[in-house]
Structures are given as structure tokens and as C-alpha cells.
Amino acid sequence: MRIPIKDVTPETEQAVVIGWINEVRDLGGLAFYILRDRTGFLQVTIVKKKAPEAVLAAAKGGASRESVVRVTGSVKATEKAPGGRELIPETFEVISHAESPLPLDVSEKVPAEIDTRLDNRYLDARRPRVAAIFQIRSTVTHAINNLLYEEEFTNITTSKIVAAATEGGGTELFPLAYFEKEAFFKPESTAL
């Protein structure tokens, strides 16, 4: 059964992890794949002389940066690996192959212009600094919601008045005059 990368320890012995390939280093007889999921990073070490043929074929056949892979193997402690542990794969499956080259560097080694970042927001959100901002915002929002529920506030959603209709909004908007300008009323679904 799949476990989050943060829970992979040498005591785990056998692990199944799924994550994005953050970095690839091929050093001839050894190949290192740094996997990333939402919980952290894990080094997958392929010793080419000892690895099963299926692992070598999958790694060569489409395991590029930002591809999603499922790796099963044994966990070993090593000081040189990120987090002090590495996974020696017994199986290596590419679930989703990423196109190459990527429009921006997710590892942040090469800076990207703001236009490139906004055009590829799904990749930009994977960058460590951007992900940290979202994690902080999520923690603050969670804490505020918990406080309000503890104080017995009631969460409601209200209808909105918006300045312009959205493209293909998919919701019913009703025009109205608002301070001598046209605006649109967007009703929320309500419980009766």
C-alpha cells in the first residue's frame, strides 16, 4: 500500500511510493531519482548492475523530470541522501510521462519570468517557495476556521454582486442597476 514520503524510514523496510520526479542524476553505474510528493523528498537509487531489467527499462523509457512514478522497494539508511534514507527499487512504473523540455524549472535552479510562471501555474505551484506560501495560507485559514467554529459562529455563503459576467460562467447572472452602472447579481444556492 502506498505511503507518504515523509513516513518512509529505514524501519519501514519495504515501501510503495508515488511521486513526481524532481531531479535525475545519471552517474554511469548509478542513477539517482529524487521523488517529491506533497510531504517531502525521497532518493531512489538504481544500481544498474543489480537492478531488475524492468526497472532499468522503465527508468530509461520515460522517467523524465516531473513524470509521475510508482516505486516499490527496500528502504536503507544513508547519510548522503536527502532525509537520510534511500529507496532501492524492485519495481519502477511510469504512471504519467511529462513532456520535455519543461517550460520552467520546478527545482528553482533556473529562474523563470513572471509571464512563464503565470502561463504554467500548475508547474509554478510545485516550486518549493510557492508551495510554502500555499501551505502557510492553508494553515492560517484552517486556524481561523477552527477558532470561529469553537466560538460557535455559523458559516454562511451569500449572494454576490459582480461588476461583469464571467466568460462561460455556467451560473445564472441577473443584470441590475448598481449606483447608475450595470452590475450582475449571482445568487448562491440556499437551503430551504
- In CATH, what number is assigned to the domain containing residue 55? 2.40.50.140
Range(s) of the domain holding residue 161: 156-192
Tally of domains in the chain: 3
164 and 151 part of one domain = no
57 pLDDT exceeds 60?
A: yes
13 and 78 part of one domain = yes
160-162/85-96 β-pairing = unpaired
DSSP state of 2: B
Which set of grid coordinates corresponds to residue 19? 511521486
Torsion of CA 27, 67, 134, 150, to 10 degrees: -120
Mean pLDDT of 124-144: 94
Residues forming a β-bridge with 13: none
Burial of 9 from C-beta contacts in 10 A (0-12 / 13-18 / 19+): middle
Q: What is the pLDDT of residues 82-119, one digit of tens each?
A: 889 999 999 999 999 998 888 988 888 888 899 999 99
54 pLDDT exceeds 80?
A: yes
- Looking at per-residue confidence, does 163 or 144 come out higher? 144
Mean pLDDT of 149-165: 87
